[in-house]
Structure 1
Amino acid sequence: MHKDRYDNTLTTTSGRAASLYHTGLDRLLAGEAHMDVPFVEAIEADPGFAAAYAGLARTRQTVGDTRGAREAMASARDLAGGVTAREQSQINMLSLMMEGKGAEALEAVYAHMDQFPRDAVVAQTSSSIYGLIGFSGQPGREAQTLAFLSRLAPHYGDDWWFASQYAFMFCETGQLKQAGEWIDHALAANPANAHAAHVRSHVSYEEGEVDQGIAFLKNWLPGYSKAGILHGHLSWHQALWTLQTGDIEGMWALCDDAVTPEAATGGAPLSVLVDTASLLHRAELAGVEVPKARWQAISAFAAEAFPKTGNAFVDMHAAISHAMAGETEALARIISQPAGPAADLTPSIARGFERMAQSDWAGAATHLKGAMADTARIGGSRAQRDLVEHSLLACLMRQGRKAEAKDLACLRRPVIADAYV
């Protein structure tokens, strides 16, 4: 009998397959490069290893390979008849998620974790800002994710993966002291954990630690493969801080080396779009001239990678790209055909960016204010959703409404107030 690192039984007679599964799981949880390879090799060692197919499906989904994920998931389902109850439940839950049935999948997560709390493959689908709770479009999703992890905390102890996830949710709910303590532990336990490096960057961002953030990533990133799924996004963090210091040349160098669609070789399409569009937009807000060709390139990428609406967080960044590129038809589709759990917020945000592209600051502010009631429902992190707030602040400042801008900024945190007013 073989088990994974969380003491869950694996239905395989092959010790080599079990060992490779262990490696694949660690790579998945740490955001390492080539996380799919160990699962492929585990399947080669044991073609009947259903859990390895499920792991392969999850890694493929994580990097945006929807077709490959569904193919692997179909193989897992075909082999599910002779596996443990935990593995059957895991395969069912992952299947629902990959079929786009988010609400049903989340119900299955809760039911599964009640029985099998140390199944990290299922837990990690709902433990982050991009998870099933994170993209549920529901009010209070950050607190809900923290509550989900708090229920699991007694079962994971000081586990490095869990510590990084727990830290992120403390960060996203404004509990920065706890976030710092948990993320420092996670990094000490596994310095190669890219998710921990990511959370460390978010904690530094929230605390306004620009120099410390830059120094950390300059030290950490060289040891992380560009094929890693978080390499482009961590470079985005570094580029934002570099922009804040006034080093425009350095910001562009980071952008072109690791953030854009051409450069972000390991990133999922969602991250590539979001990171590139938000960096360009924040640069413009800071007074940097962004060539229209850059906007046209990311607009074309958005249109190809996300031809349909359905995720407000993605649609928001696609809307920025289309608006700034002058792609009015693509932008009009996002405004007129919103879809997904937070679809009610998409038109206001998209219209706000449309007006910003036209230098209609009053009109843009009106539309952006309409989405400010609960931007958390859009999805993404607090740092990423600052894009809406920063845009509104810029619109107010350009109308000379400094007092109103300062009141808005102070509601968020002094970092924004200092930066804009």
Structure 2
Amino acid sequence: MALRDSYGNEASATSQAALDHYDRGIRLFLGANFGATEAFQSAVDIDDNFALGHVGLARSLMMSGQMLQAKSAISRAQELGAKLDMRQRQHIECVAALLSGQPQKARELVRSHVRDYPRDALVAQLCSNVFGLIGFSGEVGREAELLAYTSALLPHYGDDWWMMSMHALSLCETGQIEASTKLMDRSLALNPRNANAAHFKSHAQYENGETVAGRKYLAKWLSDYDDRAVLHGHLSWHSALWALHDGDEAAMWGAVDAGVGPGSAKGLPINILTDTAAILYRADLAGLSVNPDRWTELSDYALRFFPETGQSFADMHAALSHAMAGKGERLAHIADTAKGLAGDLVQPLARAWGAIARENWSDALVELVQVMGTTERLGGSRAQRDLLELTYANVLLKLGKTAEAHRCLSTRRPVLSASPPIAAFQS
């Protein structure tokens, strides 16, 4: 009798012990907890012919930035896949497409695969979340598409804590905050250590303007979250943002220096770059003094990990870092060569950052208006894209267009309009 994983999918493992380690890896991976790599490694150590064990290992290695090892693991899975059933062959193919740098192909493969195998969670995960293949598709309407995706999957999962948290995020990003919060709380009741749910609960609290409650909740939740886990740095960014909005500058810098910036965070380079750039510039907008050395360090980090363009969300933050550090050649390279799924937006945005660094507000406005209509194409959550909303409002303020700045925030991001974290509003 064939063995089945915890989601009911037939698996090629020949050992229950190997499958138990695999299921533990799946749980840790879907909950964004540290230890998934070790669990998947244990599975294939017991059964080296367990193809999907190698896929899980590849996926977890990828999420810890170990790309060479990840490609080796998926290669082993592909060697073993020829004799497997359709579900397992397609499972391997979806992850292999992602690891080979073909996100659009991977996205289509995943969408097709989950129609037939909706409970294949490790594959379904690839298109969930704002950091997934839909989230980074570079397309208009991606939030609605993500909601449609998780809405179709949700009925197949019953009371599953992971899928609840994925759908709750989709609800949050489409403005359905109350429904999102209720579903997220159900997810957390089933698995209180689901870091994805804790993350998305913070998003719902942000959208509701619950600064004090959000700050308190996240501080408690983070207290025993492993700093090697994939979301530790990003949750630290949320903590820093809460502190900034709460007027606690010391706590904000403490969170940045303990878990967000290049010198402390242990997460993926894309998160370290984007989170650090965002909090530094949002601190600047709020009137705090930002040490220029921080921008120089971050510009050097961006150059090291993203020397060429292609990942639009990373590129827009790399451009900001180079602009604020006064690295004109680096900034010009992005403005001239930006490619990727939203490269056409990165180019004017890079020019806008350069103009802002020079305090040329008129030129900055000319460039920003080309971007603001479709910022969702750049990727990230609403909370992350508020960097652009606040930047745009600040440029309007610098040009004396105070009423327009207020109007833009009140219509586009009303959660920020009552007390905008921009110093120029107070002057």
Q: How far apart are the structure 2 equivalents of 1:249 and 1:156?
A: 43
Task: Name the structure 2 match of 1:398.
Answer: 398
Q: What one-letter code is carried by the residue in structure 2 that aligns with 1:245?
A: D
Give the TM-score normalised by the residue count of structure 2: 0.97
Relative to the length of structure 1, the TM-score reads: 0.98
List runs of 5+ in structure 2 lacking aligned partners: none
Q: Indicate the residue corresponding to 2:245 in structure 1.
A: 244
Aligned match of 2:283: 283
Structure-1 separation of matches of 2:283 and 2:122:
37
Equivalent residues in 2 for 1:266-415, closer than 5 Å:
267-415=267-415
Secondary structure at 1:246 match in 2: coil
Contact kept in structure 2, 1:34 and 1:227, CA below 8 Å = no
Superposition pairs of residues 113-132 of structure 1, within 5 angstroms: 113-132=114-133
> Mapping of 1:44-123 within 5 angstroms?
44-123=45-124
Counterpart of 2:134, as a letter, is I
| Secondary structure of 2:24 counterpart | helix
Q: Which runs of 4+ in 1 moved over 3 A?
A: none
Q: Secondary structure in 2 aligned to 1:284?
A: helix
**1:151 alignment partner, SS class:** helix
Deviation at 1:399, TM superposition (A): 2.1
Task: Spell out the pairing of 1:34-49 with structure 2 (5 A cutoff).
Answer: 34-49=35-50
Q: Deviations over 1:4-48 (max 9, x none)?
A: 111011101111100000010001100001321101111100011
CA distance in 2, matches of 1:385, 1:328: 24
Distance 1:246 1:105 in 2: 43
Q: How does 1:21-36 map to 2 (within 5 A)?
A: 21-36=22-37
Please name the residue that 2:182 is paired with: 181
| Correspondence for 1:161 | 162
Q: Provide Cα deviations, 1:331-352, integer angstroms capped at 9, x if missing partner.
A: 1111000111111101111111
Per-residue deviation, 1:419: 2.8
Q: Partner letter of residue 380 of structure 2?
A: G
Deviation of residue 66 (structure 1)? 2.2
Deviations along 1:249-306, one digit per CA (max 9) or x if unpaired, are 11111110000112112x1111111111101010000011111110011111111111
Match of 1:260 in 2: 261
Aligned equivalents of 2:347, 2:410: Cα separation in 1: 26
Number of matched residues? 420
| One-letter amino acid of the counterpart of residue 139, structure 2 | Q
1:330-379 Cα deviation digits (max 9, x unpaired): 11111000111111101111111111111112221221121001100101
Post-superposition Cα deviations, 1:109-130, rounded to whole Å, max 9, x if no partner, equal 1111111110001100001111
Q: Any idea what the Cα deviations from partners look like across 1:226-265, whole Å, max 9, x if unmatched?
A: 1111111111101111011211111111110000112112
Whether 2:15 is the aligned partner of 1:11: answer no
**What is the identity, as a one-letter code, of the residue corresponding to 1:124?**
Q
The code of the aligned residue for 1:95 comes to A
Q: Whole-Å Cα distance in 2 between the matches of residues 365 and 383 of structure 1?
A: 22
Question: Helix, strand or coil for the counterpart of 2:126?
Answer: coil
In structure 1, the gaps of 5 or more residues are none
Aligned with 1:125: secondary structure? helix
Structure 2 distance, partners of 1:292, 1:74, is 44
Between the aligned partners of 1:392 and 1:63, the Cα distance in structure 2 is 34
Residue equivalent to 2:224: 223
CA distance in 2 between counterparts of 1:365 and 1:355 reads 9
In structure 2, give the amino acid aligned to 1:260.
G
Post-superposition shift, 1:381?
A: 0.5
**Structure 1 residue 73, shift from structure 2 partner:** 0.7
Q: How far did 1:412 drift? A: 1.9
